Amino acid sequence: MRILSVAADRPGAYQTVGSALLEAPDGATVAIAAGTYAETLELTGRSVTLQAESGADVVLDGSGADWPTIRAVDGTLTLRGLEIRATDGIAVSVDRTALTLSQCTVTGKTRPAVSVHASPSFTVEDCTVSGAETGIVVEGAGGQILDTTVREISGDGIVVALGADPLIRGCTITGCGGRGVYIYQYSRPELADVEIGQTGTEGIGVAHGSTPTIRRPTVHDTRGSAITFAPGCGGAVEGLRATNTAEPALSIATGSTVEVIEQSTAAAENGPVDDLLGELDTMVGLPGVKAEVRALVDEIQVNEWRSSAGLSIGAVSHHLIFAGAPGTGKTTVARLYGKLLKALGVLPDGGFIEVSRRDLVGQYIGHTAEKTAQVFEKALGGVLFIDEAYTLSRAAGNGDFGQEAIDALVKLMEDHRDEIAIIVAGYTAEMNDFLAANPGLASRFSKTIEFENYSAAELLLITDRMVAGGDYLLDPAAGAPLTSYFDRIADGPNFGNAREARRLVEAMRKAQSQRLRTLGRRPSTDELRSLLATDVITAAG
């Protein structure tokens, strides 16, 4: 496979993407250096990959053109790690082309951001699509849209038409002036584990003889119903979770034949477990964490089935290590884990107690073991969550009393192994020091789950949810300064992830209050709810 390099200021490299494509053979990869490339690209009968160099921020900017930024016909096209912009044209448009769009940011304005027409296959994965008239349009094509965020769309978030049958899974679609997903013209998509919120009409609209399968959707804060089926449609809806939508949440017109499987029926004996896993799925990001928790649940369930069948099972520890930076959702996931253990019959009450060093360590010899035992006994039957657990170890420079707490915990965990789940949390490197503090400590924990930092796009979605939860509305123009702020602080030594988003939202509210006080009149309701880009800029300093 040939690799062609593009860099505007690098001797020997192609200066533009277009010039590289003119000489690229089929099957070639065009690796693009950091920078903004004001180009539009049209490919016919080509098979190429366009990708950003490792760690490079690459922008393909077709703003101002009334034709697509990237258009491909009758070929194969892979786009990876790029930001693709358009204003009066479509950002990415493919016809009869096998498209792979991965880890890209696609923005538009007056046209669809991504259009896939009559393509043999396509994949849109781990992308962010925003600012366009329509987010993604799929017509007469089969493929998949996975783990993608569609937000701040003036019309419909995703449109499926002309008999298309894509899989749409794990996507988040918010802030649409129209529907979150519109399915029409005899289309047959499958939607699984999607979250749709803050839409101007219904969350999912089905029309013109379409027959989708919709599994475990979460729909909230919509001006219309969660899901509507027009006359003559069919399909199935399983496990709908709808909050703050118009009534009825599921609207099925006379003449439609839709199979409705309620959550209690779909989940059968594990209804509460599926509800809790659905709650986990609605959390922003954390794909690795979600997969690890699901794997633990699967193991517990299968062990229960084996035990009921008279088969042997191995000893299972429910104690976990949550490693990662602050603000990455460790406490929230720990609470859900306790509820899951209760729903699975592992723990009797699924309670949750959060402690730190000061709650376990005493002031004199013997006092620490007593305090630790009291906290432990209080948490029996549920989860004991020890935040910043590494501060207990001698390596943290906090003396021997913390070590006394660790030694007491090891003994208590052995004596009550089936009566409690202990989760210790902290930075990855420091947690390794914590595990070295007692020879028997590491063996008490079944697994270490890594919590990665949130991306700027994920922090923007978290901010959107915080703003909406406070009965505010975020101006779409605020997206750019918010993303810029999160990009700027993400590499700082004290980056707090979602805590940074929470602090910023509070600062934005203060900035709005100061701005409204200068109006010289009573603000309107819309003004009281609106947080503007200027509020973000003021809050971000």
d(CA 219, CA 249): 9
What DSSP letter does each residue of 154-220 carry, written as one string?
SS-SEEEETT---EEES-EEEEESS-SEEE-SS---EEES-EEEEESS-SEEE-TT---EEES-EEE
* Mean pLDDT on 23-49: 96
> Per the structure block, which two tokens stand in for 207?
């029309």
User: Using one digit for the tens of pLDDT, what is the confidence trace for 58-82?
Assistant: 999 999 899 999 999 999 999 999 9
pTM: 0.54
What pLDDT does 468 receive? 78
Q: Tokens standing for 360?
A: 């376990």
| Closest to 40 in 3D by CA, of 66, 77, 68 | 68
Confidence of residue 140 (pLDDT cuts 50, 70, 90): very high
pLDDT at 90: 97
Express each pLDDT in 249-264 by its tens digit: 999 999 899 999 864 3
- Rounded to whole angstroms, the Cα distance separating 336 from 270 reads 15
Coil, strand, or helix at residue 529? Answer: helix
Spatial distance between the Cα atoms of 477 and 75, rounded to a whole number of angstroms: 36
Segment 358-371 mean pLDDT = 78
Predicted pLDDT at 57: 94
Average pLDDT for 280-303: 85
| CB neighbours of residue 325 within 10 Å | 18
**For the domain 3-218, what is the CATH code?**
2.160.20.10
**What pLDDT score does 269 carry?**
44
Where does the pLDDT of residue 387 fall: very low under 50, low under 70, confident under 90, or very high at 90 and above? confident
> Rounded distance, CA 190 to CA 213, Å?
5
Q: How would you class 460 by CB atoms within 10 Å of its CB: exposed for 0-12, middle for 13-18, buried for 19 or more?
A: buried
The predicted model gives 455-472 an average pLDDT of 81
CB atoms within 10 A of CB 286: 24
* Residue 505 to residue 468: CA distance in whole angstroms: 11
State the chain's mean pLDDT as an integer: 88
Q: State residue 265's pLDDT score.
A: 36
Question: Which fold would CATH assign to domain 271-451?
Answer: Rossmann fold (3.40.50)
**Using CA atoms, how far apart are residues 513 and 472, in angstroms rounded to an integer?**
12
pLDDT of residue 271: 56
Arithmetic mean of pLDDT, 482-502: 79
More confident residue, 282 or 36: 36
Say if residues 163 and 141 touch (Cβ distance below 8 Å).
Answer: no
Distances (CA, A) of 469 to 241, 285, 473, 532: 18, 19, 10, 17
Asked whether 27 and 2 are in contact (CB, 8 A), the reply is yes
Averaged over 342-348, what is the pLDDT?
81
The fold of 456-540 is Helicase, Ruva Protein; domain 3 (1.10.8)
444 vs 224, more confident: 224
Q: Where are the domains of the chain?
A: 3-218, 271-451, 456-540
